[in-house]
Amino acid sequence: MTTPDQPVVDLDGVRFRWPGQTSDTVAVDKLQIHASEHLFVRGASGSGKTTLLNLLAGIHTPTAGTIELLGTDLATLSSSRRDQFRADHLGVVFQQFNLLPYLTTLQNVALACAFSRRKTERATASAEVTATVHRLLSALNLAPELHSAPVAELSVGQQQRVAVARALIGSPEILIADEPTSALDADNRDRFLDLLFAEVEAHGCTLIFVSHDAALASRFGRSIELSEAPSVRPTAP
C-alpha cells in the first residue's frame, strides 16, 4: 500500500466547516507525516483539535481537500469502510475515560481486536491474544495483578497506560493521542511519555500527539502549531 518515502498521512488543502457556520473550523493547507515520525501538534482549546482528530480518524469528511492515510484517500471509502480502516490501521488514546468500566483491564485491551481481523492476526502472530495483551501491559509497567482487575481499581496514570496498550495491540500504523497526559501530574507525565515513546518505537508506529502544552514539544522530532480557529464548533446536541 505504501512505498518507503510515501507519507503515512498526507493532508492537502483540507477545510472543514460545520453546517450553518460562516467560517472553517479546520484549515490545513499541507501536512505530510512520514512513517515512524513523532509529530507534536500544539493547539489551544477551540482550535479545532478534536475536529482534526475526527477527520484523521475518518469519522468526519472534509468539506474540501483530501486526506490520504497510508496511500488511501479516505473520501473514496464509504463511511463503514472508513470505520473498518480506523479499526485496522489506527490506535486512539483520549485525554481520559478511555476504558469501558464494565470490562477488566485485559478485556479492554483485547476489545480492539474484536472489530479488526487485521489487528487480531497481527496480535496473534507469535502468541494468543491474551498472552500478547499480558506482554504489552507488562511492558507498560502494569503489574500482572492489575491485568484482570476491574478498571475502576486503576489510577488515572495506570488507566492511560492501559489505553496505550489498547491503541497499540495489533500494531496499527498510526497512533493518535489526544491530550493523553493532561490528567497526569508532572512525574507521571514524564514516565508515561517514556513508556509511550518506547512502545511506539517498538511497534514502528507513527505518532500524532495533540496537546495544548507547548512544554512537551521538545520531546518530539517535529512539532507544528494548529492555527487559531476562526470559528468555534457548535456544542453537540
Partner 1 sequence: MTLLRIALKSARFRRTSLLLTIFSLAISVTLLLGVDMTRKEAKSSFLNTVSQTDLIVGARSGPTNLLLYSVFRIGNATNNVTWETYETIAAMEEIAWTVPISLGDSHRGFRVMGTTSDYFEHYRFGDKQPLTFDGGEQFVDVFETVLGAEVAKTLGYELGDEVVISHGLASAEFADHDDKPFTVVGVLDRTGTPVDRTVHVSLAGIEAIHLDWQDGARSALTIDADQVRKFDLTPTAITAFMVGLESRATTFRVQREINDFAAEPMSAISPGATLADFWRSISAIEQVLFVISAFVLAAGLLGMLTTILSTLNERRREIAVLRSIGARATHVVLLILLETLLVVVAGCVAGVAMLYALFAIARPVVSRRFGVDLGFSWLDPTQLTIMAAVILAAVLVGLIPGFVAYRRSIQDGLGVQV
Pairing of strands 38-42, 90-93: unpaired
Nearest distance from C-beta of residue 191 to partner 1, angstroms: 24
User: 174: which residues sit within 8 A by CB, 6+ positions away?
Assistant: 8, 9, 56, 69, 70, 89, 90, 91, 205, 206, 208
Contact track, partner 1, 218-237, x by CB under 8 A: ------------------xx
**25, 47, 105, 116: which one contacts partner 1 (CB under 8 A)?**
116
Check: CB of residue 27 under 8 Å from CB of residue 52: no
CB atoms within 10 A of CB 102: 10
The answer to whether the CB of 16 falls within 8 A of the CB of 201 is no
Residue list 151-210, contact with partner 1 (CB under 8 A): 166, 178
Q: Which is nearer to partner 1, 1 or 218 (CB)?
A: 1
CB distance 35 to 206 below 8 Å: yes
Q: Whose Cβ is closer to partner 1: residue 99's or residue 196's?
A: 99
Query: How many other C-beta atoms can be found within 10 angstroms of the C-beta atom of residue 56?
Result: 24
Q: Is 17 an interacting residue with respect to partner 1 (CB under 8 A)? A: no
Residue 112, classed as helix, strand or coil, is: helix
Q: List binders of partner 1 among 36-95 (CB under 8 A).
A: 50-51, 53-54, 57, 59-60, 79-80, 83-84, 86-88, 90, 92, 94
Q: How far is the CB of 217 from partner 1 (least distance, A)?
A: 22
Least Cβ distance, residue 50 to partner 1 (angstroms) = 3
Residues at the contact surface with partner 1, assessed by CB under 8 A: 50-51, 53-54, 57, 59-60, 79-80, 83-84, 86-88, 90, 92, 94, 96-103, 111-112, 114-116, 166, 178, 236-237
